Amino acid sequence: MVLRVSLIIVLIGIAYLSLTPLETVVVGNDKISHFIAYSVLMFNAGLLTFKSKRNFRLAILICLGFGALIEVVQHFVPGRFMSGYDMIANSLGVLIGTIQTVVLYKPVCKFLRATRII
């Protein structure tokens, strides 16, 4: 239950921060923020779906699709713009989140069970 709630919080947080209109157009190097946000998103989704290969692959595709969709929608938000570089940063974040899940799934689940979080 905790992992599901945290996944929803991460999704809402990414959507809010990505789609909130800006008064002025800010062009900057926010790629690290995109990378971190999408690696956290994928790691959270990965912890929920890792037991099933099919569901894990689907989670990867959904996270990639969510990142692409957010970038497309930004085209229509005042002060925001669609960026291919942001899509690359999102995708690299999903890749790292996937690797984190594969490497850390067992120890993280063991820790969460030991602390009675799950």
Say what the pLDDT of residue 33 is: 93
Say what the pLDDT of residue 79 is: 84
Kindly indicate the confidence band of residue 28, based on its pLDDT and cuts at 50, 70 and 90.
low
User: Could you count the other beta carbons within 10 Å of the beta carbon of residue 34?
Assistant: 24
Say what the pLDDT of residue 26 is: 59
Kindly indicate the confidence band of residue 106, based on its pLDDT and cuts at 50, 70 and 90.
very high
Contacts of 34 (CB under 8 A, 6+ apart): 67, 86, 89, 90, 93
Average pLDDT score over residue span 94-105: 98
Cα 67–Cα 43–Cα 73 angle in degrees, nearest 5: 10
The pLDDT of residue 118 is above 90: no
**pLDDT tens digits, 38-50:** 999 999 999 999 9
pTM comes to: 0.91
Say what the pLDDT of residue 12 is: 97
Average pLDDT score over residue span 91-110: 97
Average pLDDT, the chain: 93
